[in-house]
Amino acid sequence: MSLKVTKQEEDYSKWYHDIVLKAELADYSPVKGCMVIRPNGYAIWEKIQQTLDRMIKETGHQNAYFPLFIPESFLKKEKEHVEGFAPECAVVTHGGGKLLEEPLVVRPTSETIMYHMYAKWIQSYRDLPLKLNQWANVVRWEKRTRLFLRTTEFLWQEGHTAHATRKEAEEETHLMLDVYRRFAEDYLALPVLTGRKTAAERFAGAVETLCIEAMMQDKKGLQAGTSHLLGQNFAKAFDVKFQNEKGEWDYVWQTSWGVSSRLVGALIMAHSDDQGLVLPPKIAPTQIVIVPIYKTDDEKAAVLAFANKIGTDLRSRFSVHLDDREQFKPGYKYNHWEQQGVPLRLEIGPRDVASQHLMTARRTGGSKTPIPAGEQLAATIEKTFAEIQQLIFEKAKAFREVNTHRPQNEAEFREQLDAKGGFYCIDWCGDPELERKISDETKATIRLIPFDQPTALDLCLFSGKKAIHQVIWGRAY
Amino acid sequence: MSLKVTKQEEDYSKWYHDIVLKAELADYSPVKGCMVIRPNGYAIWEKIQQTLDRMIKETGHQNAYFPLFIPESFLKKEKEHVEGFAPECAVVTHGGGKLLEEPLVVRPTSETIMYHMYAKWIQSYRDLPLKLNQWANVVRWEKRTRLFLRTTEFLWQEGHTAHATRKEAEEETHLMLDVYRRFAEDYLALPVLTGRKTAAERFAGAVETLCIEAMMQDKKGLQAGTSHLLGQNFAKAFDVKFQNEKGEWDYVWQTSWGVSSRLVGALIMAHSDDQGLVLPPKIAPTQIVIVPIYKTDDEKAAVLAFANKIGTDLRSRFSVHLDDREQFKPGYKYNHWEQQGVPLRLEIGPRDVASQHLMTARRTGGSKTPIPAGEQLAATIEKTFAEIQQLIFEKAKAFREVNTHRPQNEAEFREQLDAKGGFYCIDWCGDPELERKISDETKATIRLIPFDQPTALDLCLFSGKKAIHQVIWGRAY
C-alpha cells in the first residue's frame, strides 16, 4: 500500500480518512454506516478500555452486562428519552422465523433495560449506591457517518448509578467527568474543556449533562465524553424506589455516563500530521520499533543479535516491535512506522553495536539522538516518553488556545466563525429560542458552559440582555 | 437474601438456578431468552476473557471488530451455513424509522461478514496467514433457554483465520483446540475430552468440527468449545483468493473457532455443591476473603489492624476481600462467602493476632488449618491454591471416569442411559441414518469421536457391522 497521505491543508476530511485507511485502523463495511475496526485500530481501543476500565473500577464501579435488545414499550416510558432516541433506532421485528409480538429495539443506550432491573434489585437504602458499568456495542441509525467519529454501530462503556440523594448523584456525575478529563488529558494527551450542556444539547431524559470538549486540528469541536444527572426522571418511569433509614419510600437519584470508540477518531484528528498517525506513548499499542541496519552477512548477524537483546530487555516495560523484514530497506521501514504512529524508533547499525549505543528518532520530530544501551536505557526511554507525552498535550493545548476567540459583537463572531472556525467565548443570556436561531443560521452550537467562568460578565453578545454565563460556541463533529 | 440452596440430588436444575441467582451471577431479563449478567458473574467472564485473550494473542492472533449486522443476502451465500442458521436469526427490518431495502440479520456468528472483508484484504500469499479474533455478542433465537448455558444473546470470542494450504488450516484448528483444552483444564479445572464431531453435529458450513466436551454433575455432556476446519467452502462463496508464489490464484483455506459465556455455566455445573458456588482459585474473581472475629472494642482494633495489614500484603499477588461489615456475625459471613465460591477464607481473631497466625478454611472442605502470618504467607497460599486447583480438577475427572460406561450391547446401553446417564464408549460403524435413529429414540447424541482411540475395535454395538472408530454417546446440554 502506498505510504502517501493527502495533506491536511489540502483536504482535512480526506487526510483523516487516508490516515485511518492507510494505517489500517478501520475499513468501510458492506453494512451502511457500520465500520470494521481492524487490528491496529482495535489495539488502540483495547488500550483505552484497559486504562479506563481500571479507572472506573478504582472509583468503586463494577462491570455487568445487559441485553442488546430492549422491548419497544420500555423506550417509551420516559417521554423525552423516546423522543430523542426513537428516530435513531434499529428495530428487530422477526425472530426465529416468526413475527415478534412486540418489536425489539437494538439498544441505542441502556437506561431503560437497566433501570427495569434496578427496580427489581433495589429495595432499601442498603442496596445503594448501585454503581454499574457496561462495555457494549450500541446502534444509532445515523444519516451521515464517518469512520470512528460517527457510525451506526459503535463500541462504548456506559456507567449507570443509583443513589439515595440528589447530592450524591451530582457528586457522581462530577467524579466521572473528572475521570474522563484525566483520562483524555493524561493518556490521550487531549486537552479538554469541562462544563455543562445547555438544555438543547442535553441527553434525552437528563436533568443536566456534563461534558468534556476537545478541539480537532480543523478547529472543530468534538464532544469526547458525557456524564448525565438523570435526577428522578427514569426512577419514576421505571419505579426504582427504596426505603430509607426511616422506613419511607423514595425514588432513587440516577446518573449515566459514557465514552465511545469515537475517542479513537479524536486521537487521530487531534495529533496526527501529514506523515500519518501520531500516538501518545501512553496509548500507543506499539511504543517502540527497532529497525536494524546492515549490509554484509556479518553485520547482519551482529546487528540482529544486539537488536534482539535490546528488544528482550525492553519488553518487560514497553511494547516493542523488531522489524527484521528482509524485503524492505530501512528508509521504507522508517516511513512505514511513522505512518503507524509508533512514538519512538530505535535504529541499530554496525557502529551502534560497536559503541553499544542506539540512535533514537521520535515520531514527533527533532534531531535523532544516540543513547547508551546500558542499564539506564529503560529509564532514559521512560523519560523520553514522558517528554513526548507532554509535548503532544501542550501542542494540542496551545492550538486550542490560539484558536479560541473573543469577538466584540455578533457580526465579528459570524465573520470569524466562517473565516477561521475555532471556539468562541461568549457572554450569553441563556435564551433557548435565540440559541436555536443562531445554531440554525451558523451551524455552530453552544459546545458547553465551562465550569471555569470569568468573575464578571458583559451583556449578552447576541441579545444585549443580561448575560447569565459565558459559553463556548463553535462548529463540531 | 436466604442462603439456602436447593439440594443437587433433589432437583438438579433448580439447584443450578438457585446458585446462579443466589450468588448473584445472573438474572432473568424482560427480553425472552436473554439474561442479565450481574457483577459477580461478569467478573468470572472477565477472568475468562483476560486469560484466553492472552493465550489467543500468544498463538499469533490479533483482535478486531466487525459489524453486528449482516446483510441477509450474505448469509445465503454458503448453502449449508444458511440452512443451519437462518431459522435462529433475529432480523432487523426497520432502521431510522424506515423499512430497510434489505433486512439485516443480527450476527449469529460472523463468518459471512468477516470473509467479505477478507476477500478485500487478501490478494497475495504475503497477506497470509490472516489470523483474527473477535470478542462480541451474538444472537441465536433459542426455544429453550437456561441462564449462561443457552441464551438468545450470548458473549463469545470467534477466531477466523485464512491460510495458503489445507495442512496449515488443519494445524490451526488443532492448535486452537489445544488452547481451549489447556484453558478448560488448567484454569477452569474442567477435564475435557478432545475429538471430532460426526457430520450430523458439525458446524453449518464446516468440513470438520473439533471439540472439547465436558461432563456436568448430572452426568450430562456439555460442549465447551469448538474449532472448525472450513476448508474452501466459504472462500468459494465469498471469493477469498490469493496469488501464490508462482503467480497462480487459489482459494484460501479457513478455520473458525469459539468459546462463549456458557463456560461460566459449565464452571458452575461442574464444581459447585449444595453450599453454593465452588470456583477454582485461578478463575475466582475474589480468591481470598478475610473475616475478622472480635467481641470487645480493644479486640476489634487489634484484629482489624492485623487483618488490614494481611490484606495489604496479599493484594499484590491475590485478589483479597476483607469483610469488615459490622451488621453480620462471622458465621453468617462464612456461609455467605462459601455460597459465593471464594476458594480460601482467612479467619482472624484476637488469639491469632497474639500468635501472628491465621486460621485458613478451604471452600473445598477439610479441616481448618492455622498458618503463620510471616514472610512465607504468600508462598504458603500459592501452594494451597495449587492444591485446591488440582483437587477440583481431579474430582471432576474421577467423576467423569466413574460415569463413563462400556455397555456390551444396545439394550444395555439404552437401559444404562436411562438409569444412570453418563458417557458411553461405543464402537461405531459410522452410519449417519442409524445415528439419527438412535438420537431420535434416546435423546442422546454422539458427543465426539475422541482423538484417543483404542488400538483394536469390536463390531459396531448397534449395527453389528465393522466399526470405524470408537465414539462417545451421551445426553447433553
d(CA A142, CA A151) in angstroms, rounded, equals 7
Confidence at residue A107, expressed as pLDDT on a 0 to 100 scale: 97
Final residue belonging to a domain, choices B237, B271, B305? B271
Domain housing B466: 404-474
Candidate from B42, B62, B139 with C-beta closest to A68: B139
Q: What are phi and psi of B289, to 5 degrees?
A: -120, 135
d(CA A155, CA A136) in angstroms, rounded, equals 6
Q: What is the CA radius of gyration of chain A?
A: 25
Indicate whether A222 and A127 sit together in one domain: yes
Indicate whether A61 and A100 sit together in one domain: yes
d(CA B179, CA B174) in angstroms, rounded, equals 9
d(CA A7, CA A19) in angstroms, rounded, equals 10
Residue B472 has pLDDT above 90, yes or no: yes
pLDDT tens, A139-181? Answer: 999 889 999 999 999 999 999 999 999 999 999 999 999 999 9
Classify each residue of A265-304 as buried b or exposed e, where b means 16 or more C-beta atoms within 10 Å of its C-beta.
bbbbbbbbbebbbbbbbbbbbbbbbbbbbbeeeebbebbb
pLDDT tens, A96-131? Answer: 999 999 999 999 999 999 999 999 999 999 999 999
pLDDT tens, A13-27? Answer: 999 999 999 999 999
Candidate from A45, A63, A94 with C-beta closest to B39: A63
Q: How far is B39 from chain A (nearest CA, A)?
A: 5
CB contact under 8 A, A139 and B39: no
Confidence at residue B81, expressed as pLDDT on a 0 to 100 scale: 86
CB contact under 8 A, A90 and B94: yes
CB contact under 8 A, A39 and B120: no
Q: Is residue B233 part of a domain?
A: yes
Q: What pLDDT band is residue B2 in, cutting at 50, 70 and 90?
A: low
pLDDT tens, B393-406? Answer: 999 999 999 999 99
Residue A1 has pLDDT above 70, yes or no: no
Confidence at residue B389, expressed as pLDDT on a 0 to 100 scale: 98
pLDDT tens, A388-426? Answer: 999 999 999 999 999 999 999 999 999 999 999 999 999
CB contact under 8 A, A29 and B136: no
Q: Is residue A5 part of a domain?
A: no
Q: How far is B472 from chain A (nearest CA, A)?
A: 31
Confidence at residue A3, expressed as pLDDT on a 0 to 100 scale: 63
Q: Is residue B21 part of a domain?
A: yes
Angle made by CA atoms A316, A317, A323, in degrees to the nearest 5: 80
Mutate to test the interface with A, among B66, B73, B245, B262 (most CBs of A within 10 A): B66
State the cell numbers at B444: 442422546
pLDDT tens, A63-78? Answer: 999 999 999 999 999 8
Could you tell me the CA-to-CA distances from B369 to A218, B153, B358 in Å, in that order? 67, 44, 8
Candidate from B64, B67, B93 with C-beta closest to A34: B67
Q: Is residue A265 part of a domain?
A: yes
Indicate whether A248 and A305 sit together in one domain: no
State the cell numbers at A290: 527497532
Residue A2 has pLDDT above 80, yes or no: no
Most confident of A39-48, A369-378, B82-91: A39-48
Indicate whether A207 and A247 sit together in one domain: yes
Could you tell me the end-to-end alpha-carbon distance of chain B, in angstroms, rounded to an integer? 29
Indicate whether A213 and A306 sit together in one domain: no
Indicate whether B345 and B200 sit together in one domain: no
Final residue belonging to a domain, choices B352, B382, B412? B382
Indicate whether B59 and B150 sit together in one domain: yes
Number of domains in chain B: 3
Indicate whether B155 and B124 sit together in one domain: yes
Q: What are phi and psi of B57, to 5 degrees?
A: -70, -35
What percent of chain A shows pLDDT beyond 90? 96
Section B399-423 average pLDDT: 97
**Cβ-contact A204, A175 below 8 angstroms:** no
d(CA B83, CA A126) in angstroms, rounded, equals 51
Q: What pLDDT band is residue B207 in, cutting at 50, 70 and 90?
A: very high
CB contact under 8 A, B30 and A113: yes
Beta-carbon pairs below 8 A across chains A and B:
158
Q: Is residue B280 part of a domain?
A: no
Residue of A nearest to B36 (CA): A66
d(CA A365, CA B346) in angstroms, rounded, equals 55
CA A194 to chain centroid, in Å, comes to 14
Q: What pLDDT band is residue B1 in, cutting at 50, 70 and 90?
A: low
Indicate whether B304 and B367 sit together in one domain: yes
CA B180 to chain centroid, in Å, comes to 9
Indicate whether A254 and A305 sit together in one domain: no
Indicate whether B103 and B225 sit together in one domain: yes
β-pairing verdict for A208-215 and A221-231 = antiparallel
CATH number of domain containing A317: 3.40.50.800
Q: Is residue A266 part of a domain?
A: yes
CATH number of domain containing A466: 3.30.110.30
Within a 13 Å sphere around the CA of A254, how many CA atoms are in the beta-carbon half? 30
Q: Is residue A276 part of a domain?
A: no
Is the torsion defined by CA of A425, A428, A432, A437 positive or negative? negative
Indicate whether B436 and B344 sit together in one domain: no
Neighbours of A167 (CB within 10 A): 10
Q: Is residue B391 part of a domain?
A: no
Section B127-136 average pLDDT: 98
d(CA A229, CA A214) in angstroms, rounded, equals 21
Final residue belonging to a domain, choices B236, B271, B306? B271
CB contact under 8 A, A34 and B69: yes
Confidence at residue A81, expressed as pLDDT on a 0 to 100 scale: 86
pLDDT tens, A219-268? Answer: 999 999 999 999 999 999 999 999 999 999 999 999 999 999 999 999 99
CATH number of domain containing A114: 3.30.930.10
Which residues of chain A neighbour B106 with C-beta distances below 8 Å?
68, 92, 106
Query: Cis peptide before B108, with omega less than 30 degrees from 0?
Result: no
